[in-house]
Amino acid sequence: MSFTPVQSDDVAIATIRTLAADVVAKANSGHPGAPMGMAPAAHVLFSRFVNANPKNSKWFNRDRFVLSNGCALQYVLLHLLGYKLSMDDLKAFRQLDSLTPGHPEAGHTDGVEVTTGPLGQGFGNGVGLAMAQAHLAATFNKDGFELIKNYTYVFCGDGCLMEGVASEAASLAGHLQLGNLIVVYDDNHISIDGDTNVAFTENVDQRFMSYGWQVLVVENGDTDLASIHNAIAAAKQEKNKPTIIRLKTTIGYGSKQQGTHGVHGSPLKADDIQALKTKFGLPADQSFYVPQATYDAYAEVAKRGAALEAEWNSLLTAYGQKYPKEHAELVRRIAGGLPENWQQSLPVYKPSDSAVASRKLSEIVLTAITPALPELFGGSADLTGSNLTKVKGTTDFQPPSTGLGSYAGTYIRFGVREHGMGAIANGIAAYGGIIPFVATFLNFVSYAAGATRLSALSGHQVIWVATHDSIGLGEDGPTHQPIETAIHLRATPNLAFWRPADGNETSAAYYSAITSKKTPSVLSLSRQNLPNLEGSTIEKALKGGYVVHEEQSEDLTIVSAGSEVSIAIEAAAKLKAEGIKTRVVSLPCWHTFDQQSEEYRLSVLRSGAPILSLEALSTAGWQKYSHEQYGLPGWGASGPYQKVYEKFGITGSNIASVGKKVVNFYKQKGGPVVSPLVKAF
């Protein structure tokens, strides 16, 4: 397939460049340089290669496009291609409540696959999108029915390649031989600090070859459309390696300041924009001008996309006739529905069942539900034996040539790459048809904080299996013991942080994580064994908080989470022996509890007696649910875990004595004790 230029090419490219300049100038904020430089590549890619239907941005077999260096280019393209983004939307760029916020957000703007802007994330998402395609293709395609065969195209800049998250994802992508992944690297030699010479002088070609990528170079990305075309075509030809096309461009091409960081992050001046338009043969006095030839050219592209979707729909129907079972399953997974009664496989526990670590309880859940939920696709950042995430009998997701597994395999070996793993999981979730899970120690979820917040902002269903979740990990010590991690994740909007106390709560956490289609979940799990509690059930735990041990006319309520709930119950028993009636509330998920009715919440954390919180982490945040807080005053300690708990006074007997102090204090204080949930507004 060789490149055939048409008249509309130059016009279209000029339109993208000037429209990007206008959009940024009107907002008086944004980054004009990169869109202007990347316009030729964007035009060649969308006019000649991308299979997508702007009239149905959710067509499952569409090619995925990720603008990792998120900027106005995405909006300009979506508008020209005919997605649900009007010229008025472009004019509202970076204005309140517009469809065109500062950086593209998935779920907010039609046609945006993943949220980008924070550098490096989009690159990682792209690897995830490509993994999802490879996995679903291997799972569902049949001879003559290549239903899942799209490419993932990622545009990125210098900044993305400097970020470690991209390095991690790139190394894994090379290992996985993702021939369906094509990255176009905008090598314009400029970043915010000026010439990349000041900090970024590595040999990018050699680096990507070291990862096992195909590396192609386009010397003149400003005007040589044929070379751009040929590079993308060659990238598509290479089936066993991801490709990076190093496209040498001039940032802000056409501006008087082209090639300098003056065009990176601030609007062009009015006279510069006028000169630019004149130079490219567009009317200098018109803003937001799109020649009809450009609209027409992209309308043809959209028509091609719609035809491709129609063709695909026929293929899907034929597939259904030949493979009704697989068809039903694929359709279900695309729609995001869950199989009927899957939840019946969730384990249920009685208090007489033996004590088990919640990481092990998690393994028991995964083992139980995996047969019912083939959409579970995930793995660990090189802690499989500690996170207990590999269900026996599952196959590794590996390139067949390695002899270690297949693309149909459901278990991913991420390597020690937490941040890359998080960004990849976002990409997998964005692809659809899959529920990704990832795993590491809770403490090292912090390494991936850049990705977890974007899961939450984008509404990606990603499940983090975060084990070794407190000083209860014992010997590894303070370097591995989270203190601040739980409140960090609890304070993240739209993220469900579950810290289950026993078997039933672990089942509840999974039920919630599996059914929350627009919310990521972090399951915080213990290394040490936990008893199964008398008062726990899956149903109660699903409220996010409930009374696990009830008393009437109590003197005290202890509210706790995870591995400390059983210690609270122990303390309550000791207090009862001394005549102090103590309720215990388990609060495994604040995010879920906060969504319950006020009436329910006030019945759990009720007025009338003081509430003491207990958790072997920072107390920060517990003040919302309690009058008094017991937790860790600083870092943890290395030693057998029971001794570490003793050192910090997190034992039944010490908490009982703390509880007594609380009761006495409130007695002396006098007056009614009002629930901390009773608020003025």
Of 31, 419, 75, 568, nearest in space to 251 by CA = 31
Tokens representing residue 312 in the block: 């695909």
**Closer Cβ to a second copy, 298 or 630, answer by number:** 630
Residues 319-378 that bind a second copy (CB under 8 A): none
- What is the Cα–Cα distance from 50 to 59, expressed in whole angstroms? 13
Residue 188's binding partner among Ca ion, a second copy, none (Cβ under 5 to 8 angstroms by kind) is Ca ion
- Report the residue from 188, 227, 394, 592 that binds Ca ion according to the rule CB under 5 A: 188
Contact characters 21-50, a second copy, x per CB under 8 A:
------x-xx--------------------
Considering only 154-162, 292-300, 307-315, 343-351, which stretch makes contact with a second copy by CB under 8 A?
Answer: 154-162
108 in a known ligand binding site:
no
By the rule CB under 5 A, 249 interacts with Ca ion: no
- Cβ at position 419, least distance to a second copy in Å: 5
What is the separation of C-alpha 80 from the centre of its chain, rounded to a whole number of angstroms?
A: 28
Angle at 254 between CA 251 and CA 260, to 5 degrees: 35
**Closer Cβ to Ca ion, 187 or 564, answer by number:** 187
- Cβ at position 517, least distance to a second copy in Å: 18
Residues 189-228 that bind a second copy (CB under 8 A): 191-193, 197-207, 209-212
- What is the Cα–Cα distance from 463 to 375, expressed in whole angstroms? 12
- What is the Cα–Cα distance from 125 to 113, expressed in whole angstroms? 9
Tokens representing residue 304 in the block: 């091609």
- Asked if residue 626 lies in contact with residue 666, where contact means CB atoms within 8 angstroms, the answer is no
- What is the Cα–Cα distance from 312 to 150, expressed in whole angstroms? 12
- What is the Cα–Cα distance from 190 to 262, expressed in whole angstroms? 10
Of 452, 456, 398, 383, nearest in space to 424 by CA = 452
- Asked if residue 188 lies in contact with residue 249, where contact means CB atoms within 8 angstroms, the answer is yes
CA 436 vs CA 18, 164, 315, 405, 588: distances in Å: 40, 22, 27, 18, 22
By the rule CB under 8 A, 600 interacts with a second copy: no
**Closer Cβ to Ca ion, 87 or 199, answer by number:** 199
- Report the residue from 6, 270, 310, 674 that binds a second copy according to the rule CB under 8 A: 674
533 in a known ligand binding site:
no
Residue 443's binding partner among Ca ion, a second copy, none (Cβ under 5 to 8 angstroms by kind) is a second copy
By the rule CB under 5 A, 158 interacts with Ca ion: yes
By the rule CB under 5 A, 259 interacts with Ca ion: no
Q: How many residues bind a second copy (CB under 8 A)?
A: 128
- Cβ at position 382, least distance to Ca ion in Å: 10
By the rule CB under 5 A, 69 interacts with Ca ion: no
Pairing of strands 376-380, 243-248: unpaired
**Closer Cβ to a second copy, 60 or 414, answer by number:** 414
- Cβ at position 514, least distance to a second copy in Å: 23
What is the separation of C-alpha 570 from the centre of its chain, rounded to a whole number of angstroms?
A: 38
444 in a known ligand binding site:
yes
- What is the Cα–Cα distance from 397 to 405, expressed in whole angstroms? 6
**Closer Cβ to Ca ion, 191 or 255, answer by number:** 191
By the rule CB under 8 A, 476 interacts with a second copy: yes
By the rule CB under 5 A, 187 interacts with Ca ion: no
Tokens representing residue 48 in the block: 């000649």
By the rule CB under 5 A, 252 interacts with Ca ion: no
- What is the Cα–Cα distance from 228 to 230, expressed in whole angstroms? 6
Residues 58-87 that bind a second copy (CB under 8 A): 70
Contact characters 441-460, a second copy, x per CB under 8 A:
--xx-xx-xx--xx--x---
Tokens representing residue 140 in the block: 């569902």
Strands (E), 463-532: 463-467, 496-498, 521-524, 529-530
Active site residues: 418
488 in a known ligand binding site:
no
- Report the residue from 123, 140, 153, 414 that binds a second copy according to the rule CB under 8 A: 414
CA 26 vs CA 20, 99, 102, 249, 427: distances in Å: 10, 15, 13, 25, 32
By the rule CB under 8 A, 240 interacts with a second copy: no
DSSP 447: G
Residue 103's binding partner among Ca ion, a second copy, none (Cβ under 5 to 8 angstroms by kind) is a second copy
As separate numbers, helices (DSSP H) first and strands (DSSP E) second, the chain gives 25, 20
Supply the angle between the helices 72-81 and 33-48 in degrees, to the nearest 10: 30
- Cβ at position 415, least distance to a second copy in Å: 3
Give the three-state DSSP class for 500: coil
- Cβ at position 207, least distance to a second copy in Å: 4
Which amino acid makes up residue 394? T
Considering only 19-27, 187-195, 214-222, 236-244, which stretch makes contact with Ca ion by CB under 5 A?
Answer: 187-195
By the rule CB under 8 A, 135 interacts with a second copy: no
188 in a known ligand binding site:
yes
Q: At 251, give phi and psi (nearest 5°).
A: -60, 135
By the rule CB under 8 A, 112 interacts with a second copy: no
**Closer Cβ to a second copy, 191 or 470, answer by number:** 191
By the rule CB under 8 A, 638 interacts with a second copy: yes
- Asked if residue 384 lies in contact with residue 399, where contact means CB atoms within 8 angstroms, the answer is no
- Report the residue from 9, 63, 113, 158 that binds a second copy according to the rule CB under 8 A: 158
- Report the residue from 17, 79, 277, 480 that binds a second copy according to the rule CB under 8 A: 480
403 in a known ligand binding site:
no
Give the three-state DSSP class for 155: strand
**Closer Cβ to Ca ion, 204 or 293, answer by number:** 204
- Cβ at position 336, least distance to a second copy in Å: 23
Of 114, 81, 87, nearest in space to 99 by CA = 87
514 in a known ligand binding site:
no
- Asked if residue 611 lies in contact with residue 568, where contact means CB atoms within 8 angstroms, the answer is no
Residue 492's binding partner among Ca ion, a second copy, none (Cβ under 5 to 8 angstroms by kind) is a second copy
**Closer Cβ to a second copy, 161 or 508, answer by number:** 161
By the rule CB under 8 A, 518 interacts with a second copy: no
- What is the Cα–Cα distance from 457 to 103, expressed in whole angstroms? 12
190 in a known ligand binding site:
yes
Give kind and range of the element (H or E) at residue 572: helix 565-577
Residue 546, C-beta contacts closer than 8 angstroms, at least 6 positions apart? 535, 540, 585, 586, 604
Considering only 157-165, 364-372, 451-459, 536-544, which stretch makes contact with Ca ion by CB under 5 A?
Answer: 157-165
Considering only 53-61, 119-127, 155-163, 210-218, which stretch makes contact with Ca ion by CB under 5 A?
Answer: 155-163
- Asked if residue 486 lies in contact with residue 522, where contact means CB atoms within 8 angstroms, the answer is no
Provide the annotated binding site for substrate.
Answer: 31, 264, 359, 386, 468, 476, 480, 527
The residues binding Ca ion (CB under 5 A) are 157-158, 188, 190-191
Provide the annotated binding site for thiamine diphosphate.
Answer: 117-119, 159, 188, 264, 444
Provide the annotated binding site for Mg(2+).
Answer: 158, 188, 190
